Structure 1
Amino acid sequence: MSEPQTHPVLLLVSRRAKPGHEAEFEWLMAEFITAAKVFPGCLGAQLVHPGDDEAVEDTLYHALMAFKDAGSLEAWQQSAERAAGTASIAPYIDGPAVVRGISGLAHWFQPQPGPKQGQPPRWKVAVVTWLGIFPTVYLLFLLLGEVLAPWSLFARIFLLTVLVVIIMTWGVAPQLTRLLRPWLFPSATPKLKGASVNRSP
């Protein structure tokens, strides 16, 4: 029987406000975020407003919520507080909400199915994580630096960190752990040369 997830998880919910109803949407979303922040197991919640570029009329908002584990997230998703908040916001939403769950980073370094292996030392995890994050962040800055320059600092950090987590989780980290697996998970029981095995008749 598998153990429940105990690492933090992120929930990213994107909703587009109906044009002309942004004020009502923001007011109700502020109440929704407040309810999420005080919910048991919630580590924090924040509403990200559309970009400040006046040339682009966008009404897409992002709510980012962090929970201590998958069980806390599930409890929030099934709660009366969330149901009431979602119902109050529904009349001011243009189109369906887009919900994305982003797992914590611990599962990058979980041993693969097969013979039981211990977890790698934390310093090895830190080295491999840095080897993946540094070039990923550097490349994102080169590609998006000028595009994101007009955005607020919070919005830039929010987008970049979400992109880093996504790229690391489904791209860079699996490749690094596969490449460095002999170093991360060295054999704990090396075979002894010349050892004899007694077999019962």
Structure 2
Amino acid sequence: MDTPPQIDSPAHDVPAAPASAAATAQRAVTVLIARRVLPAAVADFEAAMQGMLAAAQGFAGHLGGQLMPPDEVGDSAETLLYHVVFAFDSEAHLAAWQSSPERAHWLQQVLPHTVGTQQLHRVTGLDYWFAAPNSTTRAAPPRWKVACVTWLGIFPTVLLLFLTVAPLLAHWHLVPRVLVITLLVVAIMTWVVAPRLTRWLHPWLHAKT
């Protein structure tokens, strides 16, 4: 199995984006982190991670974060695999968080409760929706497949919202009305529609061509 990039300390050496990649640096970027935790340390680990997630919220460009517990917890499990998501609106804002004293502080609170080194994978734009749910190493599917599945999810989601929510907002001004609809679309796609579509269509999305 390929070994994903590993970090075990604050990212003081995050390389700057090359000049030719200036446009890419403006794209939203999501960091997926996998950590193994001893069952006896779960409560302390979760408390420390919640502290880190809360600290990240105060940084410019922060789009969200989430701690995802193991899908299945067996009584005989020696370690439990946790996943953590951090999302920022650009590489520059992500780098500012990764090199911050706040992150360094909370990382030191997290480390005593984990086993081994963390596994880190970065994705940009909509690629987060199409990352394999239990892996930090699988590459995103081809762009044309991403576009197809994204449309397949967005079309019924937007249609449903226009039939149900939009009439309730008819008396609102255009900008707040669009703001609410688009926020709902992103939330529903991220936590409801996209995970199911990518699971159902996984063989096709990741088929070798």
TM-score range, shorter chain: 0.5 to 0.7
The aligned amino acid for 1:28 is A
1:103 shift after superposition: 1.6
Deviations 1:66-88 (A, max 9, x none): 10001011111101111111111
Deviation per CA, 1:78-115, whole angstroms, max 9, x where unpaired? 01111111111111101110111112259xxxxxxxxx
Match of 1:131 in 2: 148
1:95 aligns with 2:116: yes
Larger CA Rg, structure 1 vs 2: 1
* CA 1:81–1:159: 2 relative to 1, 3 Å: farther
Task: Determine the C-alpha separation between the residues in 1 that align with 2:76 and 2:194.
Answer: 17
> How far 1:157 moved relative to its partner?
5.2
Q: Note the aligned Cα RMSD (angstroms).
A: 3.8
1:23 aligns with 2:58: no
Unpaired stretches in structure 1, ≥5 consecutive residues: 107-125, 136-154, 176-201
Which digits, 9 at most, give the CA deviation of each residue in 1:7-34, with x for residues without a partner?
1000011111123111111111111111
Contact 2:73–2:80, Cα closer than 8 Å, also in 1: no
Paired residues, what number? 131
Instruction: Return 5+ residue gaps in structure 2 as ranges.
Output: 1-18, 128-142, 153-189
**Percent of aligned pairs with the same residue?**
28
More strand by percentage: 2
- 1: CA distance, partners of 2:193 / 2:82: 12
Query: Corresponding residue for 1:116?
Result: none
Cα pair distance change 1:157/1:17, threshold 3 Å: farther
The one-letter code matched in structure 1 to 2:49 is: M
**Deviation, structure 1 residue 159:** 9.0
- Choose which of 70, 85, 94 in structure 2 pairs with 1:64: 85
Which TM-score applies when normalising by structure 1?
Answer: 0.53
Aligned equivalent of 2:103, options 82, 91, 94? 82
Distance 1:127 1:87, change over 3 A: closer
Change (3 A) 1:85 1:159: farther
Distance 1:28 1:127 in 2: 40
Q: Which residue of 1 aligns with 2:195?
A: 160
